[in-house]
Structure 1
Amino acid sequence: MSESCNSRHFSWLMKSCLPNPSDAKSLVPIHHHANPPATVTPISSLPDDLLLECLSRVPSSSIPSLTAVCRRWSRLLLSPYFLHLRRRLGLLRHSLFAISAVDSGLFAAVLQLQSDVPSWRVSLAVCNDGGQGSLSHARAAAIGPRIYVVSRNAVLRYDSWTGTVAVRSPMIFPRKKFAIAVVSGKIYVAGGGGGSEVTAAVEEYDPERNRWEVVTHAARKRYGCIGAAVDGVFYVIGGLKIGNETSVTSRGTAAHVYASSMDLFDVRSRQWLRSRSVPGGGCVVAACAAVGHVYVLSSHAVELSFWRFDARRGGGGGFGEWTRLKSPPLPAQVRLDGTVRFSCVGVEDKVAVVQVVGCIDDLLRRSGRSERGLRESLVLLYDTVDGEWRRAADLPEMITRAACACVEW
């Protein structure tokens, strides 16, 4: 076959491409489409991993409405992988929540520290299920956008996206003034008790199964302790020593001694690590975890001391070191007595210290003053980068005996 193309061959080729008028098949009109129709693939048909990649890039303000699209989207948005993707993209948002119980449900106040002028926004979440019980000594723990308010005989789950409240399974051992923390998406509680009995059982709560189970027993019993978690370790801090260290006074009441120490429970290995002493002594009144450290606030009757424990186990040789930090600048009218309660919450690279006065009238009467205008609560923020304190907006007046937590989404 010739590789050249002459005019005769070209004419034959052109004729072969033209329709033959005598051929009936050639009379059928031929439709030419400039752009062939594209196959439309709905986003709902994407597999979970690709759908999560899309949802993780949605602006924070639009995420709450996405949970109402369908059950599948709601399940994916509440998954740990969704938080992992937003954290990797630098889109994770942290907010300080204060929860206060009322007869009809919960008051929820949120403070977004990223705002130019941070201020509290308050909403009322009605509990339709009932059975919330007494939440006077409740602790709060957040998993993603959900806050679990855990009290002696009831557990409430508050959804910060939808503003709804649901009743969950209570702890196996009713207890108050216990330590609580979140490790790998599960809640751990230790210490505390009810009446004259203090339990040594450490319980784990699985939110997916809505089930509590005992995972270990602590070597020592603590009442009024505080919890924190860093690098897979559950820290049980402070409280009162219960057990052999307890003596009895002439009136027959127990005289307890403050426990200026921490017990460390490795969640993965289910082993207790060596306990650590909190320097300075005193009563540990608040503690939290932030940026790989445990921050402890201790009371010494007339003053407060603020400490940082290096909890990073990944190397570097700093694990276990204590550093004394600048104490929080409390107003002069605040007295360190039984009327004052403190909470510490780690919010990104900040430590929020929430101070709540239990009864403002008692405080004024004891101090011999009758002035008004003293706030029932205040919020102080410690910047872990520059080591300075500043005062944030006070808690709203309707938020009393607040349980505080940091919500990320």
Structure 2
Amino acid sequence: MAESCNSRHFSWLLKSCFPNPQDNKSLTPTTITTTNLSSLPDDLLLECLSRVPSSSLPSLSLVCRRWSQLLFSASFLRLRRLLNLLHTSVFAISSSDSGLFAATLSFQCDNPSWSSLYLPISSVSVETIQGLFSYARVSAIGPRIYIIGRNSMVKYDTWTGTVIPRAPMIFPRKKFATALVSGKIYVAGGGFRAAAAVEEYNPESDTWRVVAKAPRRRYGCIGAAVDGVFYVIGGLKIGNTWGNEVSRTSAGAEAHMYASSMDLYDVEACGWLRSRAVPGGGCVVAACGTSGHVYILASHAVELSFWKFDARRHSGGSNGCGFGEWSRLKSPPLPTQVRVDSTVRFSCVGVGYMVVLVQVMGCIDDLLRRSGRSARGLREGLVLVYDSVTGEWSRVADLPEVMRRATCVSVEC
């Protein structure tokens, strides 16, 4: 074999691949640039990350600070939602002397069941955790869950399993309303001076600020959100005169004394819409927002009624219905041993086209002692699911027995 190549042996096509010695430009070395994921702008990187399987997201959030911020951003959740890659489940959480107990209910299988886990609280004091659950409310932003108490707040990251303290609300509140709107948490009500202010929490800066003055001062209210509107529902109406009403509230007015009205705060416009009332009156005992509607469970002393409020402001409803229309739905089929009174309360969570109703208790021992009733038939944890497509209720697996006085929320991840 020859030591060198003779160009006469190459075809014209191959010759074209070699540099021309007479062309100075062809002898100039070219700079090869490489492009990797980290060099992409945020919008393109989000497009790539949004297509990653859910099982890989927790590890990707640990790659760097930038990736972590993008994975927990509202833009990432919106892209995952458009790609139908978000999986929504019910997350229940309760406290113990040593930590937090949690359970998740997934609807990805034919027979939904609860998965339990224990959450260590090495970075948070036991006193903080126990104080949280006296009057706790829970909101979730993607896989992060915020447990909001009267004087403190903690964040639980479902990906990393960590619990860390966050900034508390400006005004201490009890039995207040909370909801998530456009990636921020809003709270209202709660008695005393707090009931007059609506607060907004920014998770990126870990700060609270007052954004509005409430038209009504409420205590024991419930929050929901649909289409950019924060709904403050039910609760005791606290008037402008604070004397006797505040003393009754501070003495421990029970949360079952709910009113049947709701105030509507438009977050984008920073203003209040016309207040609405639940048809038929009664006391609102549970509520949630999902699939363009607000679902409300109302108590009428010896029975329950279930309602749907059309909250779709930017799209017309079907069959001539639209924003502000009420529809009465089939009431939940509670077992006969479950009495609708102060010993029973409900947690209502929206999961896509379904409404999950979880029966929980207050402080059972104290309530039974005051009422003189026995504990038989009062085990908490009944879970009912309303299918808004078929209009029917069904029963799924009960909440695990270890979960006492649990608080529930819908989580997307």
Contact residue 105 and residue 165 of structure 1 kept, 8 A: no
Say whether 1:286 aligns with 2:289. no
Change (3 A) 1:245 1:322: farther
The structure-2 alpha-carbon separation of the partners of 1:156 and 1:370, relative to structure 1 and needing over 3 Å to count, comes to: closer
1:199, distance to aligned residue in structure 2 (A): 2.4
2:206 is equivalent to residue 210 of structure 1: yes
Shift of 1:128: 2.6
Who is 1:82 aligned against? Answer: 76
Of residues 185, 188, 204 in structure 2, which corresponds to 1:187? 185
Are 1:238 and 2:234 matched, yes or no? yes
Distance 2:194 2:352 in 1: 34
> Any conservation in 1 of the 2:309–2:327 contact (CA below 8 Å)?
yes
After superposing the two structures, state which structure 1 stretch, 394-403 or 354-363, moved more: 354-363
Select which of 385, 389, 395 maps to 1:381. 385
Asked if the contact 1:52–1:82 (Cα under 8 Å) also holds between the matched residues in 2, the reply is yes
CA displacement, residues 307-348 of structure 1 (integer Å, 9 cap, x when unaligned): 000011114251101000000011111111111111111111
Q: Say whether the 8 Å CA contact 1:352–1:382 is kept in structure 2.
A: yes
1:318 alignment partner AA: G
Contact 1:198 1:222 in 2 (8 A): no
- Amino acid corresponding to residue 267 of structure 2 in structure 1: V
Count of equivalent residues = 373
C-alpha contact 1:179 1:227 (8 A) present in aligned 2: yes
Contact 2:155–2:165 (Cα < 8 Å) also in 1: yes
Q: Secondary structure at the match of 2:279?
A: coil
Q: Is the 8 A contact 1:356 1:401 kept in 2?
A: yes
CA distance in 1, matches of 2:234, 2:243: 18
Q: Counterparts of 2:312 and 2:45 in 1: how far apart (Å)?
A: 34
Rounded Cα–Cα distance in structure 2 between residues aligned with 1:346 and 1:279: 21
Give the equivalent residue in structure 2 for 1:352.
356
**Residue 364 of structure 1, CA deviation:** 7.6
The residue identity in structure 2 corresponding to 1:50 is L
In structure 2, distance between residues paired with 1:202 and 1:343 = 22
Q: 2 CA distance for matches of 1:206 and 1:142?
A: 13
In 2: Cα distance, 1:405 partner to 1:369 partner:
30
- Amino acid across the alignment from 2:289: A
Paired letter, 2:114: W
Query: In 2, distance between residues paired with 1:253 and 1:233?
Result: 31
- In structure 2, what residue type is equivalent to 1:164? T
How far, CA to CA, are the matches of 1:15 and 1:402 in structure 2?
83
CA contact (8 A) 1:198 1:223 kept: no
Decide whether the 8 Å contact of 2:311 with 2:323 is kept in 1: yes
The structural deviation recorded for 1:198 is 5.5
Query: Structure 1's 258 and 80: CA in aligned 2 closer, same or farther, altered over 3 A?
Result: closer
Deviates more, 1:334-343 or 1:310-319: 310-319
1:393 equivalent in alignment to 2:389 = no
Task: Provide the rounded CA distance (Å) in 2 between the counterparts of 1:39 and 1:142.
Answer: 42
Q: 2:170 aligns with which of 169, 172, 177?
A: 172
The 5 Å alignment of 1:277-356 reads 277-316=277-316, 318-356=322-360
Distance 1:363 1:167, change over 3 A: closer
Deviation at 1:306, TM superposition (A): 0.3
How much does 1:16 deviate?
11
Aligned residue for 1:226?
222
Once residues 375 and 314 of structure 2 are traced to their aligned partners in structure 1, the CA distance between those partners, rounded to angstroms, is: 54
Question: What is the match of residue 24 of structure 1?
Answer: none
SS in 2 for 1:375: coil
Percent identity over the alignment is 66
8 Å contact from structure 1 (residues 310, 319) kept in 2? yes
Separation of aligned partners in 2, 1:68 and 1:16: 53
Which has the larger Rg? 1
1:53 aligns with 2:47: yes
Pairing partner for 2:117 from 102, 120, 123: 123
Please tell me whether the aligned partners of residues 149 and 403 of structure 1 are also in contact (alpha carbons under 8 angstroms). no
- Seen in structure 2, the aligned counterparts of structure 1 residues 181 and 370 have a Cα distance that, compared at 3 Å, is closer
Q: Which runs of 5+ in 1 are unaligned?
A: 1-12, 18-37
User: Could you tell me how far apart the structure 1 residues matched to 2:270 and 2:150 are?
Assistant: 25
Distance 1:236 1:181 in 2: 9
Separation in 2, partners of 1:191, 1:337: 23
Distance 1:205 1:368 in 2: 42
**Structure-1 residue corresponding to 2:259:** 259
Task: Indicate if the aligned counterparts of 2:310 and 2:326 stay in contact, CA closer than 8 A.
Answer: yes
Provide Cα deviations, 1:228-277, integer angstroms capped at 9, x if missing partner: 1111111100111111699969xx85799742111011111111111011
Tell me how far 1:301 sits from its aligned partner.
1.1
Q: 1-side partners of 2:120 and 2:385: how far apart? A: 30
Question: Separation in 2 of the partners of 1:50 and 1:62?
Answer: 19
Residue 21 of structure 1 aligns with which residue?
none
**TM-score, with length taken from structure 2:** 0.83
Q: Which moved more, 1:183-192 or 1:70-79?
A: 70-79
Residues 364 and 126 (structure 1), Cα distance of their counterparts in 2 relative to 1, 3 Å cut? same
Q: Which amino acid aligns with 2:261?
A: S
Q: How many Å apart are 1:282 and its aligned residue?
A: 1.1
- TM-score of the pair, normalised by structure 1: 0.84
Q: 1:67: which partner in 2?
A: 61
Residue 357 of structure 1 and its aligned partner are, at CA, apart by 2.5
Contact 1:307 1:324 in 2 (8 A): yes
Aligned to 1:27: none
Q: Which residue of 2 aligns with 1:30?
A: none
Partner of 1:10: none
